[in-house]
Homo-oligomer: A and B are copies of this chain.
Amino acid sequence: MLSVNRPAPSAPNPCIDCRRCALFPICLPKNMDDQALAELDQIIVRHRPMAKGAEWLQHGQPFRSIFAVRSGCMKTYRINSTGQEQVSGFHLPGELIGLDAIDAGSYGTSARVLKECSVCEIPFARFEQLSEHHSVLRRELVKLMSQEIVQQRWHAAILNKQCAEARLAGFLLNLHDRLQRRGYGHESMLLSMSRYDIGNYLGLTVETVSRSFTRLRREGLLQVQGKQVHLMDLERLRALAAEGLPH
C-alpha cells in the first residue's frame, strides 16, 4: 500500500537557487539581503521530487532539519495507540514542516507525499549559526512559527462545535486562501488529498465528507467533480463557515 521514498522517474532539475525559485516571494528567504541569501542558499539541501505515496518523515526521528515544501503537497499525520491515522495538516508550497520538533528534539508527526513533491531541507544547526549574523533570518523563522500557531489554532477552532458542512466550507476556504497567498489564486482547486484524508483532518467520516460535498453542491456553493472543486460563492461559504452551527 505504501510506496517507499523514491524520486519520480522524469523529475525536473530541482536545483535552482532561492532567488530564482517561484516561491521566493513567500518562502522563508523572502526578505533577505544578498549576503544572507547567498549564505542560506549554500546550506539548503534541495531534494529531488518524490512520488505520491512516498514517506518523507517518520514521527520520532531525531530533529535535524526544517523542511520547506517547494512543489506538490504533503500531509503530516500520526498513528495513535489504536493504530488509527490522525492527519494533522496539509502542506503547500512555501510551507514548513518540522517546527514542532525544535523543542521536542524529535519530529512529532510523519509526513507523506500527496502529490509529487520536492522539498528544501534546512539543517537547523547551520541555520542557527547563520542567524547569528543575519537578524532577518531569525525574524522570518519566528514569523513563520507564529503563522503555524495561527494555523493550528484555526484547525482546533474548526473541530470545535462546527457542523460537518461548516467544517468542509472552512477547510476549502482555508486552502483557497493559502493558495491565493501563494499566487495560485483561483476559485478552482485540484485537491490533492483523498476524501478519507479530508475527513480525518476534519474529524468526520468519509461518508459525511461526501454528503457534505453533495449538500454544498446542491445549494450552489460549489461545483465538484472528483478532486476538482470550484468555489462558486465565497461570500456564502464564508458565512456558512463562520456560523458553523447545525443546519
Contacts and interface: CB of A to CB of B under 8 A. Distances in A.
A150 B161 CA distance: 22
B153 A103 contact: no
Interface residues of A, number: 46
A145 B146 CA distance: 7
B82 A149 contact: no
Given A88-B153, A99-B146, A103-B146, 6 more contacts: A82-B245, A102-B145, A103-B147, A104-B146, A145-B149, A160-B203
Contact of A155 (B78, B80, B148, B156): B156
Given A128-B139, A156-B88, A203-B160, A150 B108 contact: yes
A211 interface: no
Interface string A56-99: 00000000000000000000001011101010100000000001
Interface of A: 78, 80-82, 84, 86, 88, 99-104, 108-109, 128, 131-132, 135, 138-139, 141-150, 152-153, 155-157, 159-161, 200-201, 203, 242-245
A99 B86 CA distance: 26
16 contacts: A82-B244, A82-B245, A86-B157, A86-B160, A100-B153, A103-B146, A104-B150, A108-B150, A108-B153, A138-B142, A145-B145, A152-B152, A156-B156, A159-B160, A159-B203, A160-B203
Instruction: Specify how many copies of this chain sit in the oligomer.
Output: 2
A239 to B, nearest CB: 8
A27 B53 CA distance: 41
Nearest to A241: B81
A80 B148 CA distance: 20
A97 to B, nearest CB: 11
Contacts of A150: 100, 103-104, 108
Contacts of A109: 153
